[in-house]
Amino acid sequence: MTAHIAPLPAAAPLASWGRAAAVALRTVLILAGILIAIQMLVVVEAKPQDLITGFRGMVDIVRRSWPPDFSKLPDVLWPALQTIDVALFGTVAGVILAVPLAVLAAANVTPSRYAYYIARGVIGFTRAVPDIVWALLFVTAVGLGPFPGGLALAVHSIGMLGRLFAETIEHMDMAPIHALELTGARRVQVFTHAIVPSVLPSLLGIGLYRLDENIRSSLVLGFVGAGGIGFQLLTAMNLFQYRQVSLLLIVIFAIVIIAERLSAALRNRLG
């Protein structure tokens, strides 16, 4: 005798409806993707023929850039140092200001909800405004030169570092903090003896990564009058001194690569 298993009458229509819905959803998604791609090409006015017509001009620029004018190297060293120091200033000032803000903005250690929301607001605002906009504002306020560049990077770094520092503190192991609180230690002692040692390597790693980023940003800030090698590059391009431009690009490449490698090596040692 064979056992008879009754079929589930509703199962088959349900399955076919599910398949139809999945196919419809996939079609809608593909159509939406195509529409987004088309509007993107229209909005950016992408014309491949411009690349072909501009090729001759690009070859001409490359030809006029060669060989780099190494006789100008001594004149480039000071702006190069300015670029590095603007980044260093912005990073150090950013770290100093971001640490207390991060403590206020970390939900697990903040002393009050008001402090938390205010700190989060400051971090969000300084991060949302791009560093180049901060540089334009500070150039207007304090004049041309590397100082407004350093200020711009410092303010923008507060936002970037503050958020990452706060997240690092929020993810730390709270058990040593609770243990220290129970010994009768005060809040500031808990901070310096338990929180700082626990998160310091992560904070230094984030700070080094930020320095690496700030060196790249510092190059660009020179374009808006915030000093450094970026300002030199803009001037050389405006004067059609392409051999000097190629020298500056080589120096920029060297600075970026050295900063990146140094930052990565130091972060590895901290890890």
Partner 1 sequence: MLRVRNLSMRYPNGKLALSDFDLTVEAGELVVVLGGNGSGKTTLLRCVTRTLQPSSGEIWLGEVNLAELSGDKLRRARMKLALISQHASLVRRSSVLANVATGSLGRHFNLWTALGRVPADELAAAHGYLGEVGLASLAGQRAGTLSGGQAQRVAIARALAQRPDVVLADEPVASLDPEAAQEVMRLLQRLAHTEKLAVLAVLHQVDLAYSFADRVVGIRAGHIAFDTPCASLSREAVQGLYVSEAA
Q: In the complex, what is the shortest distance from the CB of residue 201 to partner 1, in angstroms, rounded to a whole number?
A: 7
User: Is residue 198 a contact residue for partner 1 (CB under 8 A)?
Assistant: yes
| In the complex, least distance from residue 180 CB atom to partner 1, rounded to whole angstroms | 6
Q: Identify the residue among 12, 197, 240, 261 touching partner 1 (CB under 8 A).
A: 197
CA distance 196 to 181: 15
Give the span between the Cα atoms of 140 and 6, in whole angstroms: 82
Q: How many chain residues are in contact with partner 1, going by CB under 8 A?
A: 21
Is residue 185 near partner 1 by the rule CB under 8 A?
A: yes
Please count the other Cβ atoms lying within 10 Å of the Cβ belonging to residue 48. 6
180 binds partner 1 (CB under 8 A): yes
Distance, CA of 154 to CA of 101 (rounded, Å): 14
Residues 154-173 that bind partner 1 (CB under 8 A): 173
DSSP state of 192: I
Q: Quick check: 178 binds partner 1 (CB under 8 A)?
A: yes
Q: How far apart are CA 193 and CA 254, in angstroms?
A: 40
Q: By CB under 8 A, is residue 270 in contact with partner 1?
A: no
Give the ranges where 5-145 is alpha helix by DSSP (H): 11-43, 48-65, 73-105, 113-128, 131-142
- In one letter, which amino acid is 96? I
CB-wise, 12 or 96, nearer to partner 1?
A: 96
Binding site for partner 1 (CB under 8 A): 173, 175-176, 178-180, 182-186, 188-189, 192-194, 196-198, 200-201
